[in-house]
Amino acid sequence: MSIKIDSNKCVACGKCIDVCPGTLIYKDENKKAYIKYEKNCWGCTACLKECKVAAIKYYLGADIGGNGAKLHVEEKGEVLNWHIVDKKGKEAIISTNRKESNKY
């Protein structure tokens, strides 16, 4: 499991750095975020949920049936839309509400 950060989309807010429980994300010379220790990412998705510009993609590994699919999160108010895009570009969206997070 790991993530990839698109530096072109990153607006250098630093939120992913603040929430990563493994201290795996750092700032480059332009204050853009990058992951330093990819292999140590355990896929908690905290950084995905905090990135307001969907600059972070999460790779869904074969071990969970991901087969190369990628996940990113887009936020609309209290709702988080989890976009899963497979290798052929087919997309599925799962929506969760932050206020009801204890239900999931």
Q: Which residues bind to ligand SF4, rule: CB under 6 A?
A: 3, 5, 10-16, 19-22, 24-25, 33, 35, 41-47, 50-51, 53, 55-56
Which amino acid type is present at position 56?
A: I
Q: Residue 33 or 69: which CB sits closer to ligand SF4?
A: 33
What is the amino acid identity at position 79? Answer: V
Considering beta carbons, is residue 59 or 88 the nearer one to ligand SF4?
A: 59
For the bound state, the minimum distance from the C-beta of residue 99 to ligand SF4, rounded and expressed in Å, comes to: 21
| Minimum gap (Å) between residue 48 Cβ and ligand SF4 | 7
User: What is the C-alpha to C-alpha distance for residues 76 and 4, in angstroms, rounded to an integer?
Assistant: 22
CA distance 13 to 52: 9
Q: Both ends of the chain: CA-CA distance in Å?
A: 21
101, 49 contact by CB (below 8 A)? no
- If the CB atoms of residues 47 and 90 are measured against ligand SF4, the closer one turns out to be 47
